[in-house]
Amino acid sequence: MRRRSFFIAAAVAVGSVGAGTARAEHRGFPAVLRPAAADLFPEGVAWDHSRRALLVGSFAGPGAPVPTISAVGRDGVATTIVRDPEVRGFFGLEVDERRDRIVAVAGNPAGAETFGLAVYDLHTGEREQLITLSGEPVGARSVNDVAIGPDGTAYVTDPLGGAIHAVDTAGRIATLVRDPRLAGSGFGVNGIVWHPRGYLLTVVYSLGTLYRVSRTGEVSQVRTPEPLVGGDGLALRPDGRLIVVTNTMGGPGTNAVREFRLAADARFAVPVRGFAPWPDPAPTTVAVTPHGAYVLDGHLDIFFTPGGTTTDFVLRRI
């Protein structure tokens, strides 16, 4: 209880200190965006500098049978930039600015259909690559999130396989690491982010364990004061602080957002502030923007409810 109290108290304290500076920094971009969107159910979010907008990828729902990637700007309108009937939905996605492309994890959250990695031209939305990960050579059992390295390599998490797979810009695929620690107890390695010091950070959903993974696949634990059970999306702020989104959709976690300061060698992470419970019931991930960090709630709790429908989704600034 004392640890959770710390997170809540820190959130209140940080919310009041420097409020004027925050208002100046974020002027013109709303604190909460609720785009009108029938049954889009987005799971992943990324910042697109070229459009000055947040990109979200959707699953196929009753009112939106074709998955899309949409841009949401300061007006709060979701504008479709990708429509791809050959995939069943989009999980995590990233904008690769250096190469003008959107890299999205593609699959069906409700079934075991073919899944992989889809790459689209950032400006036109045209598909450039569709790479299957469920077949040979890696035989991924599932897909969830993606991080982009400086050379353009896409690192995709495989929660059911306890693995991270690597896809280079030419579409060549390999397994970076497969480790029992990444499998957790049920749903394993989930959110992932590339750190500028040259390694990956990832979290195991079912156990809440945070790991550092090197370029060559060595896995080491990043100690936290308490497990981040339900750990889903990760993001790094420009100052190096790590944001972790947790939820309760797949287990006994907490709907919360926490920030940590990492040790120089990432052996441990120190809590900086936290928000628990989070105001929205099903947060999944977060994107850092020039206007602050925005947490996505795509109403996946409704998506997994038989017959569930929705008319919007939520992007809320921390």
The CA distance from 179 to 189, in Å, is: 10
Q: What is the pLDDT of residue 307?
A: 84
- pLDDT at position 102, please? 98
The type of residue at 149 is: G
For the record, the structure tokens of 114 come out as: 């073919």
Contact criterion met (CB below 8 Å) for 162 and 184: yes
Q: How far apart are CA 27 and CA 34, in angstroms?
A: 18
Distance CA 288, CA 292 (A): 6
Provide the phi-psi class of 84: left if phi over 0, else alpha when psi is between -120 and 50, else beta: beta
pLDDT in tens, 146-197: 999 999 999 999 999 999 999 999 999 999 999 999 999 989 999 999 999 9
> Which long-range contacts link 202-207 to residues 24+ away (Cβ below 8 Å)?
202/157, 202/164, 202/234, 203/228, 203/231, 203/232, 203/234, 203/244, 204/231, 205/159, 205/229, 205/230, 205/231, 205/232, 205/250, 205/251, 205/253, 206/250, 206/251
Res 259 pLDDT > 60: yes
| Peptide bond before residue 137 is cis, with ω within 30 degrees of 0 | yes
Q: What is the distance between the alpha carbons of residues 299 and 41, in angstroms, rounded to a whole number? A: 6
Calculate the average pLDDT of the chain: 90
Q: What is the DSSP letter of 241?
A: P
Ranges of each domain in the chain: 2-16+34-317
For 36, which DSSP code? B
Distance CA 173, CA 268 (A): 31
CATH number of 2-16+34-317: 2.120.10.30
Tokens of 64: 């939106």
- 298 close to 286: Cβ distance less than 8 angstroms: no
Residue 110 pLDDT: 64
**pLDDT band (50, 70, 90) for residue 22:** very low
- pLDDT, tens digit, 9 for 90 and up, residues 74-93: 999 999 999 999 998 999 99
Residue 92 in tokens? 């995590």
Rounded mean pLDDT of 19-39?
A: 73
pLDDT-above-90 percentage for the chain: 80
Q: CA–CA separation, 86 vs 166, rounded Å?
A: 22
Among candidate residues 114, 82, 78, 76, the one with its CA nearest the CA of residue 95:
82
pLDDT of residue 113: 63
Across 282-299, average pLDDT:
97
Q: What is the DSSP letter of 59?
A: B
184 φ/ψ sector (left φ>0, alpha ψ -120 to 50, else beta): left
Q: pTM value?
A: 0.91
Identify the pLDDT of residue 25.
55
* pLDDT, mean of residues 200-216: 97
How far apart are the C-alpha atoms of 6 and 12, rounded to whole Å?
Answer: 10
Tokens of 183: 């499998």
pLDDT confidence of residue 253: 87
